Amino acid sequence: MKEFFAKKPLSGKVNTLTIITNSLAMMLVLGAIFGLSLYHYKNKGLSESSVLAKIATNSLGRSLPPADRDEGDLALSEVFAYLEPDIGVQLFVDNELRGQFMNHEETNPIRLPMTNDSLDEVDEFDGWTTHVAVPFVFTSDRTTKGTISVFQNVQDAQIKAATTTAIFAVIASVSVILALLAGHRLQRFISEPLLLLAEATDKIANEKNFSMRVYSPSKDEIGMLYQGFNRMLEEVEHRDDMIRKTNEQLEDRVKARTSELEQAQAETESINNQLLEANEKLKVSIEEAKQLAVEAQAASKAKSEFLAAMSHEIRTPMNGVIGFTNLFLDSNLDETQRDYANTIKSSGESLLVIINDILDFSKIEAGKFFLDSTPFDMSATCSEVVELLSEQANAKNLELKLFYEPDARKHLVGNPGRTKQVLINLLSNAIKFTESGFIHVRVEKSAVDNHPDGLKISVTDTGIGIPSDKQNLLFEKFSQTDASTTRKYGGTGLGLAICKELVSLMNGKIGFKSKEGNGSVFWFSLPAWEFASDLSKSATEPNRLAQEGAGKFDLDQMEPLPTGFSVLLVEDITVNQKLAAKILSRMGCHVDLAINGKEAVSMARKQTYDIIFMDCQMPEMDGYEATRRIRDFESDNKVPENERVPIIAITANAMRGDREKCLEEGMNDYIAKPIDAGQVGQLIDKWRHKPNSTT
């Protein structure tokens, strides 16, 4: 089609498009005319049948009911004998056929029923046959009921509709031909100016005479095209004139400076050599810059992959250390053993805090750290942190109190997890560096960056304070006030640096006041983030995304599992297998073990499990692929959504997007290592009664 139009002249294109569009329009109109005509003639036949039926009821109703079939046939023939063909009439008296009249052509036979199934009035089509039934009462006795059924063949409606359409087709064809003739005459007003312009363009190109001009009598778009073409010629002519004058000037200068150029020829060659050398160096520099850019991208990707690998490789053994320590503490221990176990647990949790700090800081430096926002209760968040650390404060006989000012906002939108992380860090430092006295947490209203309803959260302690000459190092990476502080109190020097970055990511500020020997006041302020308008349920039903799993799940209050509650544990690391299996067995679960995704798919196809705990990173087949295949198997077997097995992801990754990826692959929920019995119990309790739907 494109080649066809490309080879045709402009007039041919216009004529072709006119013929195509007019033909399509004519076909659509003729189709509509045929359909409307057919509809009209069919309904006309139905109306005629209705009139005939009513005429027959008026005629027969005033006489006596026919005694038999012959008398009824005679009565109907007297009424309908004068009618055109294709009519069939039946007379029913008390639902008994008493008369029948047929007047139709053999080419269009009408099939009449022998019974009357309804005493009601009927007005309907049966293919190409209209059926009208009109009930009536014989006036001679007022008790005998009759029904006249008229059947009429309306197949001739097609012929009539086709005839009407043919007439309109002739009219439309004549109209299209006239339109084409008129269009052919009128198109010259468009094509002739364009052809003249094309001829002028060819002539100017051949003769190289840019002083020529073209003129159009019209002032429409074609006239504008002529004007633009003339302006282009003027620009070309002006350019040629400038080039000619410049050439003349150059010739004069060449003649005047020939001797100077001969003397400077050696110097020019030297400069040219230098330029060539500089150009080569520039090319080398460009190639080096490209290579550095590629290496930088590769380094950034390698750093992201390293963070994910570090998160997985470090958290996996930590899962075993902390998990088995918790199981060990749940067993019967003497006082010394319990003290040793608590020390191991405390050390493991401290190491996990350091690992998290390093990973967080690495993610911040790599630009891979992002914050999500969700509605949460700030007062509840602060209370949870104070309650969480109250045991540490009580162990040192410190007074730990929270003061939440009445005018300070409580319900807002932000990142509760990272807000809690900053507050825990500041409060933990206060407890660490305070030997006696008190620690007060105060939340008050404060203007922050033109936000009058911002919040200022301060932590005041009576600790050792900070020397003035060390205060400028406080928020630096891996910095402590001095080496003795690290030896006595521990720490990596990353906590406050991470707090500073987190507060900055939340568009807030952080600072402190301190005097050596007189304690410190650390504070951070947050602007008025889009405060939630209605969180009236937060006191009894905290936002799930912000606070789900924030507290410890009470296993003692968990409803006992039914006998034979089956769990498929998919895990390739032996330590993690033992830990998870032990936790699940203690809850009364029957545990089957698969060491990779391939085994999990095979086992899930053979047996229906109540829940599946699926590790994400495994050899042969990872958890994502295994989940997809299990879901495909359920879909192929048409397992209803509410009967599909819940699949819980277990992963040691702590990077952004891990949870979302698990849910996108068909998993129902997500648990990060290191796991504990409370987390596992909470998930089992959550999914044991719920229909399968990703959260």
Per-chain mean pLDDT for the chain: 79
Element at 13 (helix H, strand E): helix 10-61
Reply yes or no on whether the pLDDT at 441 is more than 60.
Answer: yes
- In angstroms, the Cα distances linking 474 to 200, 493, 689 are 81, 8, 51
Q: Are 434 and 398 in contact (CB under 8 A)?
A: yes
Distance of alpha carbon 184 from alpha carbon 574, whole angstroms: 87
The tokens 């401290």 sit on which residue? 350
**The CATH number of the domain covering residues in 374-529:** 3.30.565.10
Give the residue-averaged pLDDT of 505-513.
Answer: 89
Residue type, 67: A
Reply yes or no on whether the pLDDT at 646 is more than 90.
Answer: yes
- In angstroms, the Cα distances linking 239 to 212, 215, 235, 236, 247 are 15, 22, 6, 5, 12
Question: What order do you get walking across the sheet with 399-404 strand by strand?
Answer: 399-404, 438-445, 455-461, 520-526, 509-514
Question: How many C-beta atoms surround the C-beta of residue 171 within 10 A?
Answer: 11
The tokens 């008369």 sit on which residue? 99
49-76 per-position pLDDT tens digit: 788 888 888 877 777 788 788 888 888 8
Listed ranges 405-419, 539-553, 602-616; the one with the highest mean pLDDT: 602-616
Residue 507 is classified by DSSP as T
Residue type, 18: T
Reply yes or no on whether the pLDDT at 86 is more than 90.
Answer: no
Among 40-49, 233-242, 390-399, the range scoring the smallest mean pLDDT is: 40-49
pLDDT of residue 437: 93
Give the residue-averaged pLDDT of 285-301.
Answer: 77
Q: Pick 471 or 568 by higher pLDDT.
A: 568
Q: Are 68 and 40 in contact (CB under 8 A)?
A: no
Give the residue-averaged pLDDT of 218-238.
Answer: 78
Partner residues linked to 439 by β-bridges: 400, 461
Q: Are 146 and 93 in contact (CB under 8 A)?
A: yes
Distance of alpha carbon 377 from alpha carbon 384, whole angstroms: 11
Distance of alpha carbon 646 from alpha carbon 668, whole angstroms: 6
pLDDT of residue 480: 58
3-state secondary structure of 562: coil
pLDDT of residue 6: 60
pLDDT of residue 315: 65
* pLDDT grade for 545, boundaries at 50, 70 and 90: very low
Question: How many C-beta atoms surround the C-beta of residue 276 within 10 A?
Answer: 10
pLDDT of residue 59: 78
Whether a cis peptide bond, with omega within 30° of 0, leads into 109 is no
Q: What would the 3-class secondary structure string for 123-143 be? A: EEEECCEEEEEEEEECCCCCC
* pLDDT grade for 117, boundaries at 50, 70 and 90: low
Q: Angle, to 10 degrees, between the axis of helix 188-207 and the axis of helix 10-61?
A: 160
Distance of alpha carbon 376 from alpha carbon 169, whole angstroms: 73
Question: Up-side HSE of residue 12: CA atoms within 13 Å toward CB?
Answer: 6
- In angstroms, the Cα distances linking 120 to 87, 98, 145, 149 are 21, 18, 11, 11
Q: Are 347 and 384 in contact (CB under 8 A)?
A: no
Whole-number percent of the chain with pLDDT over 70: 78
Q: Are 488 and 482 in contact (CB under 8 A)?
A: no
CATH of 553-687 given 3.30.200.20, 3.30.43.10, 3.40.630.10, 3.40.50.2300: 3.40.50.2300
pLDDT of residue 89: 85
**Burial tier of 3 (Cβ tally within 10 Å: 0-12, 13-18, 19+):** exposed
Instruction: Name the residue ranges covered by the structural domains of the chain.
Output: 11-162, 190-242, 374-529, 553-687
* pLDDT grade for 4, boundaries at 50, 70 and 90: low
Among 206-215, 254-263, 480-489, 561-570, the range scoring the smallest mean pLDDT is: 480-489
**DSSP annotation string for 629-686:** HHHHHHHHTT--GGGSPPEEEEE---STTHHHHHHHTT--EEEESSP-HHHHHHHHHH
